[in-house]
């Protein structure tokens, strides 16, 4: 990764936070309300939910993943795998929500959803362990917190829960990953500067 000037990195992080929040919110509203169906898995697995999970996963993944993929060009990163990994991650999350029993679906989505998304985005950019683990934490923790908060605030209104999940998870994840990006870009710049000094010396 080439060095990115600090002002450009800061601008990128701010746009990333706003763009991620917006993409999550749009996805939570557009693809779940008002045309969505309420949770109806009951206490058993719902095989009929696979199709809905595939459609919603692709659509939400495309909105979030493709928008982020284009934002990454601001810092010289071009990666179609970012969009692909995001689509696959959100498809898997929707599969849990639409297929697993209602009693366990939310817990599983909160515990593993952000982990799946972060891991696949880590794969997309092939980061070393330090950066990858940072990204995993910056994605998984706010994702989980956002889902739990949206569930508590929405009560039994599943439509509002989806909207709040998009807004809250998007805002939290957008903020924490923006901070992670600042750290990644700053360490990349520091390493390149140090290398140049060593070579010139």
pLDDT in tens, 150-170: 888 887 777 788 888 889 999
| Residue 175 CB neighbours (<10 A) | 18
Report residue 189's pLDDT band, with 50, 70 and 90 as the boundaries.
Answer: confident
CA 129 to chain centre: 19
- Taking only the tens place, the pLDDT of each residue in 190-199 is 766 554 433 3
- Taking only the tens place, the pLDDT of each residue in 55-102 is 888 999 999 999 999 999 999 999 999 999 999 999 999 898 888 887
Residue 32: predicted pLDDT: 67
Burial of 80 from C-beta contacts in 10 A (0-12 / 13-18 / 19+)? exposed
Task: For helices 80-99 and 102-125, give the axis angle rounded to 10 degrees.
Answer: 170
Report residue 128's pLDDT band, with 50, 70 and 90 as the boundaries.
Answer: very high
Q: What percent of the chain clears pLDDT 70, i.e. is strictly above it? A: 88
Q: At CB < 8 A and 24+ separation, what contacts does 62-70 make?
A: 62/87, 63/23, 63/26, 63/27, 63/30, 64/20, 64/23, 64/24, 64/27, 64/90, 65/90, 67/19, 67/23, 68/16, 68/19, 68/20, 68/23
- Taking only the tens place, the pLDDT of each residue in 25-55 is 998 888 765 444 445 566 778 787 888 888 8
Residue 101: predicted pLDDT: 85
């Amino acid at each position: 990764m080439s060095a990115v000037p600090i002002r450009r990195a800061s601008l990128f992080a701010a746009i990333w936070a706003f763009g991620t929040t917006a993409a999550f919110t749009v996805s939570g509203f557009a693809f779940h309300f008002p045309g969505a169906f309420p949770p109806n898995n009951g206490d058993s697995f719902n095989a009929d939910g696979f199709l809905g999970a595939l459609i919603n996963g692709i659509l939400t993944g495309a909105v979030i993943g493709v928008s982020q993929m284009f934002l990454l060009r601001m810092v010289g990163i071009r990666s179609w795998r970012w969009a692909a990994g995001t689509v696959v991650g959100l498809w898997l999350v929707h599969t849990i929500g639409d297929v697993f029993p209602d009693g366990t679906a939310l817990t599983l989505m909160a515990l593993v959803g952000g982990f799946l998304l972060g891991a696949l985005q880590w794969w997309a950019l092939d980061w070393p362990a330090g950066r990858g683990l940072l990204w995993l934490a910056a994605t998984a923790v706010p994702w989980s917190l956002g889902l739990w908060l949206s569930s508590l605030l929405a009560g039994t209104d599943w439509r509002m829960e989806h909207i709040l999940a998009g807004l809250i998870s998007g805002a939290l994840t957008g903020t924490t990953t923006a901070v992670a990006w600042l750290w990644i870009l700053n360490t990349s710049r520091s390493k390149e500067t140090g290398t140049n000094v060593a070579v010139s010396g």
